Chains A and B, each alone.
Chain A
Amino acid sequence: MSTTTIAATEVELNDEGFFLAPEQWTEEMAPELAAREGIDDLTGDHWTVLQFVRDEYFEKGTGPTVRVLGKTSGVSVKELYQLFPKGPAKIAARIAGIPKPRGCI
């Protein structure tokens, strides 16, 4: 666990860089979090995914897997990997300030 300053606000992250308290997250933090993942420009499609994973997390208690994202977010699996090449579900969860999604598929 570590305390980090994102967008001039102190937040708590776990060892893997996921938010420990998703309610600490604000939209202003997303560009800085994205830059840490090597994504310099957050497009509308990125935001669609970020919003979706946050909604899913608060509704279901866990973020969606890539399979769920591809089926229900309106963004295809192919596009998801173009947006988040290093793993859409994992990277989107980090940028959207939610815990790492658990799921094998």
Chain B
Amino acid sequence: MADAITKISIIISKGSLDGIYPGLIMANGARAEGIEANLFFTFFGLDAIHKERHEHIKMATVGNPGLHVPTMLGGLPGVSSVMTKYMNHKMEELDIPSIPEFVEMIADTGAGMYACLASVDLFGLEKNDFIDQVQDIITVGEFYEIAAGGQIIFT
């Protein structure tokens, strides 16, 4: 297989449950296939590696037509929490790890984890706000250096 994928870099830019999981699943799946993988967290995606916030990632219930909940309803207090609970419960049944557990597992597989410097500055965060698995806070240029020779996936 001359054109097999051997390296990928996945950018996670959204901070909702449905915005974070796909990138994590793809990174984990890549490592399982022996593909080198790096994760780059930017903008609201930073919540996935934020010590305090990553345990409280919520489903987007407004502006999310795929959920089939009317926007007016989705915006009511508590709806996002209830939907998140339901989704977490469904995933637990399928033995899909929670976001904190999943991120730790992916780091254990040897995947690289990086935070985006511009976003970290924008939100007034520092290295200390992130879980220990985050290797570094890097610039876009450094990300491209790390991603060199592989494919880049933006989520």
Listed in ascending order, the chain A residues whose CB lies under 8 Å from chain B are 65-68, 70, 76-78, 81, 85-91, 104-105
Are B109's CB and A81's CB within 8 A? yes
Are B31's CB and A81's CB within 8 A? yes
Listed in ascending order, the chain B residues whose CB lies under 8 Å from chain A are 25, 28-29, 31-34, 94-97, 105, 108-110
A66 to B108, CA, bound (A): 11
Question: Quick one: given A104-B25, A105-B97, are A65 and B32 in contact (CB under 8 Å)?
Answer: yes
Are A67's CB and B34's CB within 8 A? no
Are B32's CB and A87's CB within 8 A? yes
A14 to B97, CA, bound (A): 32
Q: Which residue of B lies closest to A88 (CB)?
A: B32
Report the minimum CB–CB distance from B103 to chain A (whole Å): 12
Are A105's CB and B96's CB within 8 A? yes
Question: Quick one: given A70-B105, A105-B97, are A87 and B25 in contact (CB under 8 Å)?
Answer: no
| Neighbouring A residues of B96 by C-beta, 8 Å | 105
